[in-house]
Amino acid sequence: MWTFLGSECMFFGSLIATFLVYRNQSTTGPFPDEIIDVPITTVSTFVLLMSSLAMVLALNAVQRNQANLGRFWILMTALLGTIFLGFQAFEFNEFFNEGLTPRVNLFGTTFFVLTGFHGAHVTVGVIWLLVMAGVITPKGLSAWTLLGAVLGAYAILVGILGLLDVIRNLSDVGAVIFIAAGAVVMVAAGLKHFSIPTKLNVASQAGNLEVTALYWHFVDIVWIVIFTVVYLVSANDSIETSEAIISGLHGGG
Amino acid sequence: MAEEAVISKFPNPFPRPKTNRGWISWVMTVDHKRIGTMYGITAFVFFLVGGIEALIMRLQLARADSDLVSPEVFNQLFTMHGTTMIFLVVMPIGAAFFNWMIPLMIGARDVAFPRLNAFSYWLFLSGGLFINLSFAFNAAPNAGWFGYANLTEVPYSLGDNTTFWLIGLQLLGVASLAAAFNFIITIINLRAPGMSFMKMPVFIWMSLIVQILLVLAFPVITVALIELQFDRLYGTNFFNPVAGGEPVFWQHMFWLFGHPEVYILILPAMGIVSEVLPTFSRKPLYGYPFVVMAGASIAFMGFFVWSHHMFTVGLGPAANAAFALSTMAIAIPTGVKIFNWIGTVWGGQVRLQTPMLFSLAFVALFIVGGLSGIAHASPPTDAQQQDTYFIVAHFHYVLFGGSMFGLFAGVYYWWPKFTGKRLGETLGKWHFWLMFIGMNITFFPMHWVGLDGMPRRIFTYPADSGWETINSWSTIGAFIIALSILLFIVNYFRTWRREPTYEADPWDGRTLEWSIPSPVPVYNFKEIPTVEYLDDWWAQKYPESVNAEPRERSPGQPAPAGAEDMLPLNGQDVSSYGASSYGDDEDHGIHLPDKSYYPLIAAVGFAFFGGSLMSAWWLTLIAGFIMMFGIMGWIFEPVNDPPPEEENPGGHPEGYSAEAGH
Ligand SMILES: [Cu+2]
């Protein structure tokens, strides 16, 4: 796993290097200062950081062989990761509306490919977490209740995204129905799920979960670098800085 | 009592077959020896394909103003020749040796992740077939093996040629990365007890370094290819100068991968030679720690020299000077290695058998290639030589005279271990001498014609250029090489028909693989050996060489039988070996990793997924589904089936022979 993460470091290193090399190289707008919204992304960054905390708690619970608690925190991690992805979908959607696409200029190209590949890694992580939650679930009724709770949670998310107009062809009424139905299913299935007594031995899965956790923390750390580079450092790049740098390049030979 | 987790109850639509015979047992195998054999055979077929491409080019260039092939076809030929020889021949032949020899030389029963190993092979095969499939669409890659942007961008490279190239390389890259993770973990975790890092054979050291290079260098090319792919397929601007993109950035990314790549190609051969020279000189490797550290520092410095491929781009005197210095500095550890090899042979009882001949030729030809390399480490000299046949001569001395000679040394050296019989010695010597002479006739004159200004990659040249005689010589040499390869194939078939001799240790070898029978039993080691010395097998046979008392094992005898009182792998964690049951006499109580369909399904799905990006979205969807199905089935398939006593009272059938494929 460590060798895999070393390789991933080079992967994201190259993508971030591309972003930095092409910083202030766009010949047309939109430029970052017209587009980037640091406060909203700060919130989503916080969500992702909290998911790492949940991951730590999950691993801790599984190591102490507490199946229900471990499963709860794993699902919490996956949910926080999904919320982060929701923010990203919202952000991409906003940027599209404001005219920033991967094709329009270099900022768009490098921004969407870098954050998009990170988002893909988060998605893989969420799927992996859901698989791990399934792995430490006894077969039978509790597996079905778990599935119900997860589906309920995702129905709520779909509703929220609909309300935020990220999913456009979902009307507001439909979105509220999604949220309400999802909440009922989730709460009912969740209550039922955690009321089923199990003596499942989950500590044997701690090693596997540790690998999952390594991956998850890695994806988190990469995001902190991306957040710093793309949002904090570059947020004020404007048409003026770009023109200054481009003319400097050509003037200086 | 604890309840069962769902993981073991997941429905498995493709239960493992139990057969150990026929093609199906090869398709689903996870045995490192069979996977190694498949790597070797596949790579050799690609070697013939790439060789035929080279011969057509040499025929075209034999005469001035020739019109045997069109310029378009010539572009496809040199691009595919380079891509094939690097990614489909030298790297996978290296992988064949890693697969076969790493577990045998470190005293393990398999690699750390046998199914991942199968996945790597199938993805490599799919990627190789995918790139060559482009010939069927008359769209073979045609932009050179380093695919310079923005010549590879849409307005300048229409058609699917370059798309085939970049998606194919992505697939091969993932295959190499998966294999690299596997081998690193194998070498670090599965070494026999007592084998500390400084007691590992040099080949294992070089393998480890190559895998680390792969892990660090391939992501860079992957990102570059992704960026190019997005530019070509989705209209992004990474290398589009109109939008501010910089084509030179592609060159930086490519060579940041590309220079470590040349060490990925040469270090396995260096490792093989470092095993062959001591064996055939009956002396230990001269200065073992220096050879190891030289290899490591070559690899490390290899990341800081990439711009020597770009001296003529115009990066400025400061950058050129820095990269010239770092490039010349690499000559120091390389020179250390050459001195150590010469020191190994010096004063030894040299036996000039075929593996030794190839190894000595490796050293000689590599020196020639290294010296011409130093020549263009100097930017002013390079300005004259850039993109001429001098460069072609240089890297063929290193990659053909170096890598291929080293790999052939390994083929002749370990063939008895693979099959239980040596390759014919007379034909082997004919093969060697023809290849050696042909290689020098082909490539040495290229130095002259290159210095005279003949550019590489031109499909023809005018008669008054004065290049015709030299080019005819090169063509004659190329056909001598082809003849030598033909002799190797004849040798292969003649050896195949002979009865095995079952010599366990035909060369009086030094390392652990010679302590077990030939051909290697499916479980490799009946008992995992305990290592005390560097070249431990030699120390066991000749205890006086290390001033030690003879050990229990008598000299020249294979490791003692003793399955009866065998402990579970010296008390190590056995789960990583896939060993789940002991005491079953059919397999000497050694339960090996079970076969699986899923690596094949996942790899084919992955390749299909990559290829489908060129066509309709619904194909991508189907391919994605196949890939996910393969991966999920893989995850939920138990690592090992229940012990055979429960399902298969007869135990494992016999005939699990490693030489079944020859
Ligand atoms: Cu180089």
User: Are the beta carbons of A177 and A231 closer than 8 angstroms?
Assistant: no
B236 Cα–ligand 1 center, Å: 29
Could you tell me which residues are beta bridge partners of residue A138? B5
pTM: 0.86
A118/chain B closest Cα distance in angstroms: 13
Q: Based on the number of CB atoms within 10 Å of its own CB, is B483 exposed (0-12), middle (13-18) or buried (19 or more)? A: middle
Q: Is B558 helix (H, G, I), strand (E, B) or coil?
A: coil
* Res B610: pLDDT: 83
Q: Select the more confidently predicted residue: B469 or A168.
A: B469
**A210 falls within a domain:** yes
- Substitution target in A106, A193, A205 with the highest count of B β-carbons within 10 Å is A106
Q: For residue B482, what pLDDT is reported?
A: 96
**Predicted confidence band of residue B580 (pLDDT cuts 50, 70, 90):** very low
If you average pLDDT over residues A74-98, what whole number do you get? 87
Residue-wise pLDDT for B497-512, tens only, equals 888 888 888 998 899 9
Tens of pLDDT along B146-168? 888 878 888 888 888 888 999 99
- Over residues B545-553, mean pLDDT: 66
Given an 8 Å threshold on Cβ–Cβ distance, is B6 in contact with A138? yes
Residue B5 has its nearest CB partner, among A4, A117, A138, at: A138
> What single string gives the DSSP state of each residue in A60-125?
HHHHTT-HHHHHHHHHHHHHHHHHHHHHHHHHHHHHHHTT--TTT-HHHHHHHHHHHHHHHHHHHH
Measure B250 CA to nearest chain A CA, in Å.
10
> Which of chain B's residues have a Cβ under 8 Å away from the Cβ of A205?
5
**Tens of pLDDT, residues B30-39:** 889 999 999 9
Q: What string of DSSP letters covers B427-467?
A: HHHHHHHHHHHHHHHHHHHHHHHHHTTPBTT-S---GGGS-
Chain A: nearest CA to B531, how far in angstroms?
26
CA distance B269 to B552: 35
For B226, which DSSP code?
H
Select from B37, B202, B26, B100 the least CA-distant residue to B516: B100
| Cα of B153 to nearest chain A Cα, Å | 14
Which residues of B fall within a CB distance of 8 Å from A241?
A: none
Find how far residue A163's CA is from the centre of its chain.
Answer: 19
Q: Measured between alpha carbons, how far is A2 from B174 in angstroms, rounded to an integer?
A: 17
Q: Which residue intervals of B136-287 are DSSP H helices? A: 161-189, 202-234, 247-281
Residue A73, judged by CB atoms within 10 A of its CB (0-12, 13-18, 19+), counts as buried
CATH code of the domain in which A87 resides: 1.20.120.80
Q: Which of A20, A31, A62, A103 to mutate to test the interface with B (most CBs of B within 10 A)?
A: A103
Expressed in angstroms and rounded, the spacing between residue B308 Cα and the centre of ligand 1 is 6
∠ CA B403-B406-B408, rounded to 5°: 110
Q: Is B63 exposed, middle or buried (0-12, 13-18, 19+ CB in 10 A)?
A: middle
pLDDT tens for B326-373 read 999 999 999 999 999 999 999 888 999 999 999 999 999 999 999 999
Residues A66, A45 share a domain: yes
- What letter would DSSP give residue A209? H
pLDDT value for A250: 56
In contact, A209 and A62? CB cutoff 8 Å = yes
Cβ contact A113–B9 (<8 Å): no
Quote the pLDDT of residue B18: 62
Residues of B in contact with A198 (CB under 8 A): 3
For B455, phi then psi, to 5°, come to: -75, 150
Query: Over 80: is that where the pLDDT of A72 sits?
Result: yes
Distance from CA of B166 to the nearest CA of A (A): 17
- In this prediction, residues B387-413 reach a mean pLDDT of 94
Query: What pLDDT shows up at residue B660?
Result: 31
Q: How confident is the model at residue B565 (pLDDT cuts 50, 70, 90)?
A: very low
Q: Which of A213-222, B518-527, B626-635 has the weakest average pLDDT?
A: B626-635
Note whether A106 contacts B216, CB cutoff 8 Å.
no
Grouping H, G, I as helix, E, B as strand and the rest as coil, residue B535 is coil
Fill in the DSSP letter of residue B284: P
The pLDDT of residue B16:
65
Q: What percent of chain B has pLDDT over 70?
A: 86
The residue of chain B with its CA nearest to that of A199 is: B2
Please state, in angstroms and rounded to a whole number, the distance separating the CA atoms of residues B68 and B59: 8
Provide the pLDDT for residue B275: 94
pLDDT at A7: 83
| A102 closest CB neighbour out of B2, B5, B234 | B234
User: Residues B79-104: pLDDT tens digits?
Assistant: 999 999 999 999 999 999 999 999 99
Cα of B226 to nearest chain A Cα, Å? 9
Interface of A with B (CB under 8 A): 3-4, 6-8, 10-11, 13-15, 18, 21-22, 25-28, 102-103, 105-106, 108-110, 112-113, 117, 131, 134-139, 143, 198-202, 205, 246
- Number of structural domains in chain A: 2
Please state, rounded to an integer, the average pLDDT across all residues of chain B.
Answer: 84
For residue B404, what is the DSSP state? Answer: I
The Cα B583–Cα B55 span in angstroms is: 56
Q: Please report which confidence band the pLDDT of residue B265 belongs to, taking 50, 70 and 90 as the band edges.
A: very high
- What pLDDT is stored for residue A195 in this prediction? 76
Partner-chain contact A109 B230, CB within 8 Å: yes
The nearest CA of chain B is from the CA of A52 a distance in Å of 24
Contact list, A113 vs chain B (CB under 8 Å): 226-227, 230, 236, 238
* Beta-carbon separation of B238 and A18 below 8 A: yes
Share above pLDDT 90 across residues of chain B, in percent, rounded to a whole number? 52
A109 and A216 belong to one structural domain: yes
Residue of higher predicted confidence among B652 and B552: B552
* CB proximity B5 to A under 8 Å: yes
pLDDT (mean) for A15-22: 84
Q: Model ipTM? A: 0.83
Give the torsion through C-alpha atoms of B23, B180, B272, B522, to 10 deg: -40
Same domain? A223 vs A175: no
Cis peptide before A30 (omega within 30 of 0): yes
- Among B310, B309, B408, B426, residue whose Cα is nearest residue B356: B408
pLDDT at B591: 63
One domain, residues A116 and A128: yes
Q: What is the mean pLDDT of residues B166-173?
A: 92
Beta bridge partners of B47: none
Distance CA B340, CA B332 (A): 12
Residue B358's alpha-carbon distances to B401, B472, B543, in angstroms, are 9, 26, 30
Burial (CB < 10 A; 0-12, 13-18, 19+), residue B374, is middle
Using an 8 Å CB-CB cutoff, list chain B residues near A3: 180-181, 184-185, 215
Query: Is the same domain home to A134 and A152?
Result: no
Q: Do A26 and B230 touch (CB under 8 A)?
A: no
Task: Give residue A46's domain range.
Answer: 33-138+202-236
**H-run or E-run covering A50:** helix A38-63
State in Å: Cα B310 to ligand 1 middle. Answer: 9
CB B157, CB B151: distance < 8 Å: yes
User: How many residue pairs bridge chain A and chain B with CB atoms within 8 Å of each other?
Assistant: 115
Give, rounded to a whole angstrom, the gap between the first and last alpha carbons of chain B.
50
A200 and B180 within 8 Å at the Cβ level: the answer is: no
Which residue has tokens 């902190």?
A224
Q: Hey, what CATH topology would domain B31-497 get?
A: Cytochrome C Oxidase; Chain A (1.20.210)
Phi, psi of A105 (to 5 degrees): -155, 180
* Pair (A129, A45) in one structural domain: yes
Chosen for mutation from B211, B215, B252 (greatest number of chain A CBs closer than 10 Å) is B215
Q: Distance between CA atoms of B537 and B546, rounded to whole angstroms? A: 11
Q: Do B181 and A200 touch (CB under 8 A)?
A: no
Closest partner residue to B236 among A27, A113, A138, by Cβ?
A113
Q: Give the range among A68-72, A141-145, B179-183, B401-405 with minimum mean pLDDT.
A: A141-145
Of B219, B226, B246, the CB nearest to A10: B219
**From A3, A7, A21, residue closest to B185, measured CB to CB:** A3
Strand partners for B388: B455
The reply to whether B303 touches chain A by the CB within 8 Å rule is: no
* Ligand 1 centroid – CA B255 distance (Å): 7
pLDDT per position as a tens digit, A110-144: 888 899 999 999 999 998 888 888 877 776 677 78
The DSSP secondary structure of A124-174, one letter per residue, reads HHHHHHHHHHHHTSBSSHHHHHHHHHHHHHHHHHHHHHHHTTSSTTS-HHH
A34-67 pLDDT, tens per residue?
878 888 888 889 999 999 999 999 999 888 888 8
B 173-212 near A (Cβ less than 8 A): 177, 180-181, 184-185
Q: Is the domain of A129 the same as that of A143?
A: no
Domain spans in chain B, listed from the N-terminal domain onward:
31-497, 601-636
Residues of chain A with C-beta less than 8 angstroms from the C-beta of B1: 199
Give the distance from residue B25's alpha carbon to the nearest chain A alpha carbon, in angstroms.
30
Residue A70 banded pLDDT, cuts 50, 70, 90:
confident
Are A216 and A226 part of one and the same domain? yes
Chain B (229-258) residues lying within 8 Å, Cβ to Cβ, of chain A: 230, 234-238, 242-246, 249, 253
Residue B601's pLDDT band (cuts 50, 70, 90): confident
Smallest Cβ–Cβ distance between B6 and the set A6, A27, A143 belongs to A143
Q: What backbone phi and psi angles, to 5 degrees, belong to B308?
A: -70, -10
B220 → closest Cβ in A14, A102, A246: A14
Residue range B518-523: mean pLDDT, rounded: 86
**Nearest-10 crossing angle of helices B91-106, B32-62:** 150
Does A131 contact B222 at a Cβ distance shorter than 8 Å?
A: no
Asked whether residue A60 falls in the same domain as residue A89, the answer is yes
Residue B589: pLDDT above 70?
no
In-domain check, residue A59: yes
Residues A116, A37: one domain?
yes
**Predicted local confidence at residue B160, as pLDDT:** 85
Nearest CA in chain B to A201: B2
Cβ pair B218:A202 closer than 8 A: no
Q: At B92, which helix (H) or strand (E)?
A: helix B91-106
B109/B33 Cα distance (integer angstroms) = 10
User: Which of B3, B177, B253 minimises the CB distance to A14?
Assistant: B253
